[in-house]
Structure 1
């Protein structure tokens, strides 16, 4: 149990630091946005590029892990979507709710957590999961929202908009560029390696502090209905992923444990970004992120203990 505390407490302590700094005014109202920009445009891309550039195809290509993560996310998304639509929710709002229930915080929490628990080897499953969450889940939600809004003349135009957005996403582009570099078989030049290392090492503290700053911001509007989404995220998604990764596919320990741990993470900030962009229920999404992050302190600790990590 002591080793579990050593892993979990520093991560949530950094989130708490950001929360306290915002609440006490030590960091201003724009701090979350600006630090988040550093993480998204410099820190995480450098880390993802460095990991993929130094990896081999045999290590990264894990079809069983891809299936476990993808099916776990999609199953929760579709089940939540059906559940919310039965409650007479509009497709746009139900899509954001479904994304909140299935969008794990693989970038800000998953990458540092896997690195602490599994060492350098843990970065690869965290990186793959981050790409899957953004490419598959986020894209699906955007398409559903566009259909619900009928803002485009056809699904074809909505899909093109999604593809264009993904092509500009540094979290997608950087690992792809790193994979191309790895195909050349050449090590990174010394100065470039040092530059990327400096930026990558700043990713974890900045990402977690930024998350704390975000959670400290008050949101206007109703947050009713947050608890069912939180329970789906913290209990249902890891349960589905466990069934796929362990009894069904019998994945190797590193990949099975990583899939389960990443599925059990709290809701990331992606759904909030969509809610803000489409001028929807940002207060509900913000409450889901806050409560699931706090709740994951208990569930993640319990999971690490049960897995013996």
Structure 2
């Protein structure tokens, strides 16, 4: 139990530190934007490239892991989307709710926690889950939001806008760069490699502090019942689904199975809030769900790490 506490507590201590620094005014609102930009544009892409070029294609190709993780997302996303859409008659708000119920914080909390819990061997699956989350899963949510916002306008234009935004996303570009280098056998010069490693090592602590800064923002007044529903689905149902498929359906290395479950048990990431802000709908539900799921995950992650 003490061993698990030593894994969980440092992660949430850094989140709490960011929260406290923002609440006390030591770090301003501008720090949220700037630190987040550093993590997204420099630190996490560097960490992603470093992990990929340090691995092998055989080690990274684990289709069972990908399917188990994505089934956990789909089994929540689709029913929540349909139920909330029928209830509210609003596709945009239903998309925000469905994303909040299934969008795991794989990058900012998942990677640091997996590193502490399972060591460097867990970083490749953590990065793959992060790529799936910020590319495929987030892209699907954007498509639904575009369809909702355009209301009969060209869906082709929505896909074009989406493609451009994905191409510009460093979290999408970095694994492509790493994959090309791994497949081609090209290597960076030694000094460049060390620079990438230095940047990558800053990703985990900065991401956790950035999470705390984000959570310290004032929460909009919204229905607590909806957020509680989404949090229960995210923290309890999603990891149970991933556990079933990772351990009882697909064959994969033990470390990959554990990582699939832990990453599925992550609290809601900032994706749904970003969607809500971009389209001006559902920000209150998104931010409250992120806050409550992050607090609740202290307990649920402790339980999962103890069981696994």
Q: TM-score range by the shorter chain?
A: over 0.9
CA shift for structure 1 position 151:
5.3
CA shift for structure 1 position 93:
0.4
CA shift for structure 1 position 187:
4.1
CA shift for structure 1 position 125:
0.3
In structure 2, the partner of 1:231 is: 232
CA shift for structure 1 position 83:
2.0
Could you state the TM-score of these two structures normalised by the residue count of structure 2? 0.96
Name the CA distance, whole Å, in 2 between partners of 1:231 and 1:267: 11
> Which digits, 9 at most, give the CA deviation of each residue in 1:183-225, with x for residues without a partner?
2324432211221111111111110001000000103342442
Checking the alignment, whether the CA contact within 8 Å between 1:53 and 1:180 is kept in structure 2 is: no
Name the CA distance, whole Å, in 2 between partners of 1:168 and 1:135: 12
What does residue range 39-54 of structure 1 map to in structure 2 within 5 Å? 39-54=39-54
Name the CA distance, whole Å, in 2 between partners of 1:217 and 1:89: 29
What does residue range 100-111 of structure 1 map to in structure 2 within 5 Å? 100-111=100-111
Could you state the TM-score of these two structures normalised by the residue count of structure 1? 0.96
Name the CA distance, whole Å, in 2 between partners of 1:191 and 1:9: 35
In structure 1, the partner of 2:271 is: 270
In structure 1, the partner of 2:174 is: 174
CA shift for structure 1 position 152:
6.4
When residues 223 and 208 of structure 1 are mapped into structure 2, their CA distance, relative to the original with a 3 A threshold, is: farther
**Bigger mean CA offset, 166-175 vs 244-253:** 244-253
Checking the alignment, whether the CA contact within 8 Å between 1:103 and 1:270 is kept in structure 2 is: yes
Name the CA distance, whole Å, in 1 between partners of 2:287 and 2:96: 12
Name the CA distance, whole Å, in 2 between partners of 1:182 and 1:26: 42
Correspondence 1:288 to 2:276 = no
Gaps spanning 5+ residues in structure 2: where? none
What does residue range 68-79 of structure 1 map to in structure 2 within 5 Å? 68-79=68-79
Checking the alignment, whether the CA contact within 8 Å between 1:146 and 1:152 is kept in structure 2 is: no
SS in 2 for 1:87: helix
Gaps spanning 5+ residues in structure 1: where? none
What does residue range 240-251 of structure 1 map to in structure 2 within 5 Å? 240-251=241-252
Name the CA distance, whole Å, in 2 between partners of 1:151 and 1:54: 46
What does residue range 1-309 of structure 1 map to in structure 2 within 5 Å? 1-150=1-150, 153-224=153-224, 225-307=226-308
CA shift for structure 1 position 155:
2.1
Report the count of equivalent residues: 307
CA RMSD across the alignment: 1.3
**Bigger mean CA offset, 90-99 vs 185-194:** 185-194
**Bigger mean CA offset, 6-15 vs 245-254:** 245-254
Checking the alignment, whether the CA contact within 8 Å between 2:88 and 2:94 is kept in structure 1 is: no
Runs of 4+ in structure 1 deviating by more than 4 angstroms, as ranges, are none
> Which digits, 9 at most, give the CA deviation of each residue in 1:57-116, with x for residues without a partner?
101111100111112112211011122123224100000110011100000011111111
Checking the alignment, whether the CA contact within 8 Å between 1:265 and 1:296 is kept in structure 2 is: yes
Checking the alignment, whether the CA contact within 8 Å between 2:220 and 2:288 is kept in structure 1 is: no
